[in-house]
Amino acid sequence: MLNKEYRGLAEINGPLIVVEGIEGVGFDELVEVITPNNQRRKGRVLQISEDKAIVQVFEGTSGLSINQTRVKFLNHPMELSLSRDILGRVFNGVGEPIDGGDEIFSSRKYNINGNPINPYARKYPRNYIQTGISAIDGLMTLIRGQKLPIFSGNGLPHNRLAAQIARQARLGNGDEEFAVVFVAMGIKHDDADFFIRSFEESGVLQNVVIYLNLADDPAVERIIAPRVGLTAAEYLAFELGMHILVIMTDMTNYSEALRELSSRRGEVPSRKGYPGYLYSDLASLYERAGMIKGRPGSITQLPILTMPNDDITHPVPDLTGYITEGQIVLERELDQRGIYPPINILPSLSRLMKDGIGEGYTRADHPNISSQLYASYSYVQDVKALASVIGEDELSELDQTYLEFGRQFEEKFLGQGNDENRDIEQTLDLAWEVISTIPATELDRVSEEEIERYYRK
Amino acid sequence: MAKEGRIIYINGPVVRADQMEGFLMQELVYVGEAKLIGEIIELAGDTATIQVYEETTGMTPGEPVYSTGSPLSVELGPGIIGNIFDGIQRPLAEIKERTGAFIERGVAVTPLDREKEWDIEIKVKAGDRVEPGQVVAELAETSVIRHRVMVPPGLSGEVKLVVPDGRYSVEQEIVHLVDDSGQEKVIKLYQEWPVREPRPYRERLSITKPLLTGQRVFDTFFPLAKGGTAAIPGGFGAGKTMTQHQLAKWSDADIIVYVGCGERGNEMTDVLEEFPELEDPRTGKSMMERTVLIANTSNMPVAAREASIYTGITIAEYYRDMGYSVALMADSTSRWAEALREISGRLEEMPAEEGFPAYLPTRLAEFYERAGYIKTLGQEREGSISLIGAVSPPGGDFSEPVTQNTKRFVRCFWALDKSLASARHFPAVSWLESYSEYLGELADWLQENINEEWLEHRNWAMRILKEEDRLQEIVKLVGEDVLPDNQRLILEVARLIKVGFLQQNAFSEVDRYATPEKQYWMLKIIHFLYEQALPLIRENIPISRIKDNELFSEIIKMKEKIANDELEKFKDLMTRIEEHFNAVRANYQD
């Protein structure tokens, strides 16, 4: 079918253009915009009324003119060509190669919006991924097929942590194929370089697909980038049967791009100016993680977001937390004390760990000792608050042992090296080592047999 | 049926069409060549605004809109229980058969299986006069649910012809009757009902019976009634979904309708995998034999999320009309409210608080008022619907519009507390912020059926917890050691109540479900310990002597160590407490 070309625009407003006098144009359709100096850009239809379409231009509208711009409607939504060759390649936010290599060709094209996974077709995730990081493996275990975001703040080492997870992540049995899809949304050049270097150094680069939208790339492209990345992940996981870890950073930048677009369209804002559909929109990304019955692969998501002003109630972390299956929260105070990774375990959580740990998965004592560490460390906070009022010396003997436990927990258990890779046995033994600072009679979450076996072992 | 409109505007799930004369408000329509399901939400002149329940990608102005002549309805008949539907009652298993692991658009599937035959028993004969709600046939829908085929509301008359008992599919006509205006009507195994209209009943009865959940913090402290309403607000990670799952598993309702509204796909999968394995303590059969799931996860179309709540409650009303007690869990009503907001925003309506439409409170009230304990039409069975809605306030802040407006229309408020959750105190229900208005109405039943001391123990425990909260303020400033011993005893006993009674382990086979009798005994033991210890304190025996770690830890572990059918062990425990304190007194006097 020949696509009709329209010359001239009715309006240009930020990343949006309005085309009039159109015919037979579909909602959400892909658009090619040709600038006066013959540059080709892509866009998509956001809204249509009888003869008028509002189009979002991914690469921005600078250099467009009202009467010299040409627009072609392509009669299909945005699609991606995918093949095994994407592994080891670098693409921009709309999926075009930027590493000088060839275009990707495939007979089948994939709609980047995907379709929702039928809940009836999902397989409940149960197999844990060993990340080699004690705080995560022991207390907020990552499960294959889970979406577990890192809530961080500016200046905190979330990138180091994500890179370390990508390097060390081990699946139960090692003979399955494993790959990383890395989606950068509005991050700094330095951060992108850090990730690529880290993949290179650990020798996994040929198993990484990279989609880059950097801080100085057009903001609207950020809305497309994660969809492109997740479409590639779905292809690798559910068609090629690979286990995919998707790192998406930074979801705050993504949400801001969405807000910008929403305000350009004059939509009614809800909290902090974000559109009312931010929840649904984020869910359309996060829910693309998971496993499917009868297919071997999986998609595990590790989104990273920086909380503006370290505020966990900000709409982006808040809505994310409502969709994802837990969160890993980094804390500035721990970071300032030189503890890496600075994970504050109390607000952190992995919702899927309950079914993926314990006997047959990790070790039988795992659920109880994990619950005990949470309960005791939570009491440490009360003791610390009291100590700041009456002074450490005035604390009861018991409370002093709690303080000591808190110190050991943070230094020995939480704290570990950037290259230190602890297996699950080491992590759990370490958990018992630090909990043994407090008297056994204080432990109400573990069984007597466990105390017998592991306490002060 | 030949009516046809023409699309002129598309913005996500909101579509406008003209040439729509003769279409009805809230009529179900098929939109576009792909025949996507939609509902008319606004009519102005010959232009209609339609909310579409599927993705509108690729739709073009000029495409047709087809009329169906009827509002958005559900099919009510055998085959609902044990099934999983999307927000507009399409069976997800059937969709999977058609389109594979991913849900594609425009799938036309019937809610109920047309092929399956049911073994029915006819309950009327020719010449009988039948009224709305009257049972004309019965069949075993699952091993625990007798499905009663009823005369639909609004139909009465004389039976002309019935089929013999035997196996029939839902489309077959089983009863012919002549209605009061002389017209011939037929009754099949299923009927249709518009989701936005409450099904009629004879009268509302007053609340007298509790909905026992096996969860101590609810049954003992903040009980919900059969026919009552409750809200569970809590920020993310506070355990709303876990709590809803616990309630769905262990509540003593006959039927559970679980609506996953805009939440996680994996959570529905969890229910689908776990429920068939679990044994219902009342029937000994699988939990799935009494459960129906409505799943419209967060990545499924937003308009169908709005409808899912109504689909769920209409199904609940149908089983209520058969004379069952039904409990409906909606997780989460905030997502439903947000779907309202999203549609309202796309309609460019004037927003009220935080972008929500001004009619949010009305919609919430209409929903919660569909709960109740009622006498049905027909042979006057008693049935009930209890509604439990999870609320997800942004930032965990309960002052936001959905929580506040929900609070106006529910009578049980089960507030989840993030700090309890981060200390892994589950269920993380705050005993200070929660309340149940049913306490007074249910006290008689509980005292009669469980124990007459029930209320006394419960109120004593609440007083201790309140007092402990006050004392903790002081402890935060000066430490526990400076308090007098009678106050330190309160702290110790409060700890027993919190750890030993309120905390309940959902993953423990013994602890996950507690009968009301076991709950009563557990609280009685703690109260008994307090009563025994108090005189010793008055005799100036120091608390360090009174508090025996072994005994206290035995009390904390009684929830694990004593099963529901081993209540006599509580008496042994009482004896041990008594012996312990006698020994303490004797030793101290020496």
Chain B contact probe: residue of A27, A49, A379 with most B CBs at under 10 A: A27
Token pair in block for residue B327: 């409990």
- Most confident region among A305-309, A354-358, B419-423 by mean pLDDT: A305-309
Q: Do the chains contact at B60 and A25, CB–CB below 8 Å?
A: yes
| Domain membership flag for residue A269 | yes
- B268 Cβ under 8 Å from any chain A Cβ: yes
Q: In this structure, is the dihedral angle defined by the CA atoms of residues B281, B287, B292 and B298, taken in order, positive or negative?
A: positive
Average pLDDT, chain B: 93
What mean pLDDT comes out for the span B202-206?
95
Chain B residues within 8 A of A111 when measuring between CB atoms: 57
- B544 Cβ under 8 Å from any chain A Cβ: no
Do residue A89 and residue A52 come from a single domain? no
Of A321, A355, A389, which residue sits at a domain end?
A355
Is pLDDT above 50 for A309? Answer: yes
| Percent of chain A predicted with pLDDT > 90 | 72
**Contact between residue B385 and residue B344 where contact means Cβ atoms under 8 Å apart:** no
Q: What backbone torsions phi and psi does residue B38 show, to the nearest 5 degrees? A: -145, 170
Is pLDDT above 90 for A173? Answer: no
R_g over Cα of chain A: 25
Q: What is the CATH number of the domain that holds A34?
A: 2.40.10.170
Between chain A and chain B, the number of residue pairs with CB atoms below 8 A apart is 218
Is pLDDT above 50 for A1? Answer: no
Do residue A233 and residue A253 come from a single domain? yes
Token pair 């906070």: residue: A381
Residue of chain A minimizing CA distance to B397: A313
Chain B residues within 8 A of A283 when measuring between CB atoms: 262, 297-299
What mean pLDDT comes out for the span A135-140?
96
Average pLDDT, chain A: 91
Q: Do the chains contact at A116 and B103, CB–CB below 8 Å?
A: yes
Is pLDDT above 90 for B321? Answer: yes
pLDDT band, residue A127 (cuts 50/70/90): confident
Q: What is the pLDDT of residues B471-487, one digit of tens each?
A: 999 988 888 888 999 99
Other CB atoms within a 10 A radius of the CB of residue A37 amount to 8
pLDDT band, residue B413 (cuts 50/70/90): very high
Other CB atoms within a 10 A radius of the CB of residue A200 amount to 12
Q: What is the pLDDT of residues B428-458, one digit of tens each?
A: 999 999 999 999 999 999 999 999 999 999 9
| Domain membership flag for residue A360 | no
- A244: distance to nearest CA of chain B, Å? 17
Give the model's pLDDT for residue B347.
Answer: 83
Do residue A86 and residue A72 come from a single domain? no
Do residue A162 and residue A304 come from a single domain? yes
| Domain membership flag for residue A60 | yes
Cross-chain CB nearest to B553 (options A279, A395, A444):
A444
DSSP strand E in B206-324: where?
Answer: 229-233, 255-261, 291-296
| Domain membership flag for residue A49 | yes
What mean pLDDT comes out for the span B54-72?
91
Do residue A382 and residue A350 come from a single domain? no
Lowest mean pLDDT among A76-90, A168-182, B130-144: A168-182
Q: Do the chains contact at B479 and A28, CB–CB below 8 Å?
A: no
Q: Do the chains contact at A28 and B61, CB–CB below 8 Å?
A: no
Counted residue by residue, chain A has a size of 457
Token pair in block for residue B123: 């309950």
Cross-chain CB nearest to A287 (options B265, B418, B424):
B265
Chain A residues within 8 A of B52 when measuring between CB atoms: none
Residue of chain A minimizing CA distance to B263: A323
Do residue A114 and residue A231 come from a single domain? yes
User: Looking at chain A from residue 262 to 321, which residues have their Cβ under 8 Å from any Cβ of chain B?
Assistant: 267-271, 275-277, 279-280, 283-284, 286-288, 290, 292-293, 295, 312-315, 318-319, 321
- A201: distance to nearest CA of chain B, Å? 35
What mean pLDDT comes out for the span B485-513?
94
pLDDT band, residue A172 (cuts 50/70/90): low
Of A22, A44, A77, which residue sits at a domain end?
A77
Give the model's pLDDT for residue B85.
Answer: 95
- A113 Cβ under 8 Å from any chain B Cβ: yes
**Contact between residue B244 and residue B312 where contact means Cβ atoms under 8 Å apart:** no
What mean pLDDT comes out for the span B207-221?
95
| Percent of chain B predicted with pLDDT > 70 | 100
Is pLDDT above 50 for B125? Answer: yes
Of A28, A43, A77, which residue sits at a domain end?
A77
Cross-chain CB nearest to A374 (options B104, B394, B424):
B424
Give the model's pLDDT for residue B476.
Answer: 85
- B432: distance to nearest CA of chain A, Å? 19
Do residue A190 and residue A302 come from a single domain? yes
Q: What is the pLDDT of residues A8-36, one digit of tens each?
A: 999 998 889 999 998 889 998 999 999 99
Chain A residues within 8 A of B477 when measuring between CB atoms: 389-390
Q: What is the pLDDT of residues B248-261, one digit of tens each?
A: 999 999 999 999 99
- How far does Cα B314 stand from its chain's mean position? 13
| Percent of chain A predicted with pLDDT > 70 | 98
Residue scoring higher pLDDT (B124 or B353) = B124
Q: What is the pLDDT of residues B5-60, one digit of tens each?
A: 999 999 888 999 999 988 998 899 999 998 999 999 999 999 999 999 888 888 99
Measured CA to CA in angstroms, residue B383 lies from A296, B64, B209, B227, B584 at distances of 46, 44, 12, 8, 54
| Domain membership flag for residue A280 | yes
Is pLDDT above 70 for A175? Answer: no
Q: What is the CATH number of the domain that holds A246?
A: 3.40.50.12240
- B60 Cβ under 8 Å from any chain A Cβ: yes
Give the closest residue to A218 by CA, choosing from A13, A9, A15, A12.
A15
Please state the domain count of chain A. 3
Chain B contact probe: residue of A112, A271, A280 with most B CBs at under 10 A: A280
Chain B contact probe: residue of A322, A346, A372, A382 with most B CBs at under 10 A: A322
Do residue A11 and residue A137 come from a single domain? no
Chain B residues within 8 A of A396 when measuring between CB atoms: 479-481
Measured CA to CA in angstroms, residue A248 lies from A150, A227, B408, B463 at distances of 10, 11, 41, 50
- B560: distance to nearest CA of chain A, Å? 11
Token pair in block for residue A350: 């992995």
Q: What is the pLDDT of residues B140-171, one digit of tens each?
A: 999 999 999 999 999 999 999 999 999 999 99
Find the DSSP H helices in B28-102. 92-99
Cross-chain CB nearest to A277 (options B9, B342, B351):
B342
Q: What is the pTM of this model?
A: 0.92
Do residue A176 and residue A315 come from a single domain? yes
Q: What is the pLDDT of residues A274-298, one digit of tens each?
A: 988 899 999 999 999 999 999 999 9
Q: What is the pLDDT of residues B73-117, one digit of tens each?
A: 999 999 999 999 999 999 999 999 999 999 988 888 999 999 999
- B265 Cβ under 8 Å from any chain A Cβ: yes
| Domain membership flag for residue A361 | no
Q: Report yes or no for ipTM above 0.90.
A: no
Residue B458, CA atoms < 13 Å, CB-side half-sphere: 25
Is pLDDT above 80 for B191? Answer: yes
User: Looking at chain A from residue 155 to 184, which residues have their Cβ under 8 Å from any Cβ of chain B?
Assistant: none
Do residue A266 and residue A332 come from a single domain? yes
Do residue A86 and residue A73 come from a single domain? no
User: Looking at chain A from residue 229 to 268, which residues have their Cβ under 8 Å from any Cβ of chain B?
Assistant: 238, 267-268
Give the model's pLDDT for residue A2.
Answer: 56
- B440 Cβ under 8 Å from any chain A Cβ: no
| Domain membership flag for residue A204 | yes
Give the closest residue to B12 by CA, choosing from B48, B59, B47.
B59
Query: What is the C-alpha to C-alpha distance for residues A101 and B392, in angstroms, rounded to an integer?
Result: 47
| Domain membership flag for residue A334 | yes
Domain with A146 in it: 80-355
Cross-chain CB nearest to A385 (options B59, B298, B476):
B476
Q: Do the chains contact at B260 and A276, CB–CB below 8 Å?
A: no
Token pair 């769920």: residue: B312
Chain A residues within 8 A of B299 when measuring between CB atoms: 116-117, 280, 283-284, 287-288
Do residue A136 and residue A203 come from a single domain? yes
Q: In this structure, is the dihedral angle defined by the CA atoms of residues A428, A434, A440 and A444, taken in order, positive or negative?
A: negative
